[in-house]
Amino acid sequence: MRLILLGPPGAGKGTQSERLVTAHGIVQLSTGDMLRAAVAAGTPVGLEAKDLMARGELVPDEVVVKIVADRVEEPDAKNGFILDGFPRTLRQAEALESMLAQKGIKLDSVIELSVDEDALLERVERRAREAAAAGKAVRSDDAPEVVRKRIGDYKSVTAQLKPFYSERGLFAVVDGMAPIENVTAAIDGILADTRASAS
């Protein structure tokens, strides 16, 4: 099972990924996590990525593609993976396609968790208010203007990726505003269809 999960902040990608990891024995590969680890370890990739990440800019395509190419070769990814935060550009999508083809790996599906932008902002703002009321620290990336920017960035990403993966018959959309169980059921349905059409 190899899939790409797309969705803006607050769409529930983390929750659904955890469930998919448990249900299918696959790994979640987040390029953001991998880059943060590289920065913390002070590797050459980390040194290159550090300032760009701090400014919220994208790390060069070839750097990200290389870390993904290396990571999918590791034993724990042999059974399958969920790509999270990658690809983020058309060039990355093209590079991923040729890299997987070279490795003889087939991508099963690209699933977008779609959300209602106003409801999403409300959800994130409520989370911030509740945290503040409980005397907890409010996540800095939950500030409404930051969330708006992250949603905007995300929209330009999907605008590029949706046509690319739709042309290849891989793109599917799930209502990310539905209850968690329903979202999981919808994703399972897509994956079951994918398996059925492959066999």
Return the structure tokens found at 54: 């701090």
Residue tagged active-site, from 103, 106, 126, 139: 139
Stretch that binds ligand AMP, among 58-66, 108-116, 118-126, 160-168 (CB under 6 A): 58-66
Q: Which residue has the tokens 């905007």?
A: 152
For residue 169, give Cα distances in angstroms to 72, 110, 191, 194.
23, 9, 13, 10
Cis peptide before 87 (omega within 30 of 0): yes
- Is 71 marked active-site? no
**Residues between 116 and 175 with contacts to ligand AMP, criterion CB under 6 A:** none
- Is 139 marked active-site? yes
Q: Is 56 in the site for ligand AMP (CB under 6 A)?
A: yes
Q: Is 27 in the site for ligand AMP (CB under 6 A)?
A: no
Q: Which residue has the tokens 């897509």?
A: 190
Residue tagged active-site, from 148, 149, 150, 162: 150
Say if residues 143 and 128 touch (Cβ distance below 8 Å). Answer: yes
Rounded to whole angstroms, the Cα distance separating 59 from 80 reads 25
Q: Is 8 in the site for ligand AMP (CB under 6 A)?
A: no
- Is 126 marked active-site? no
- Is 150 marked active-site? yes
- Is 13 marked active-site? yes
Rounded to whole angstroms, the Cα distance separating 177 from 37 reads 31
String marking each residue 28-47 x if it binds ligand AMP according to CB under 6 A: ---xx--x------------
Q: Which residue has the tokens 């880059």?
A: 35
User: What is the separation of C-alpha 54 from the centre of its chain, rounded to a whole number of angstroms?
Assistant: 19
Rounded to whole angstroms, the Cα distance separating 130 from 151 reads 22
Was 13 annotated as part of a binding site? Answer: yes
Q: Is 81 in the site for ligand AMP (CB under 6 A)?
A: no
Q: How far is the CB of 53 from ligand AMP (least distance, A)?
A: 4
Stretch that binds ligand AMP, among 10-18, 38-46, 53-61, 98-106 (CB under 6 A): 53-61
What residues contact residue 21 under an 8 Å CB cut-off, 6+ apart? Answer: 27, 28, 82
Q: Is 85 in the site for ligand AMP (CB under 6 A)?
A: yes
The residue whose Cβ lies closest to ligand AMP is 32
Residues flagged as binding site for ATP: 10-15, 127, 178
Footprint of ligand AMP (CB under 6 A): 31-32, 35, 52-53, 56-59, 64, 85-86, 88, 92
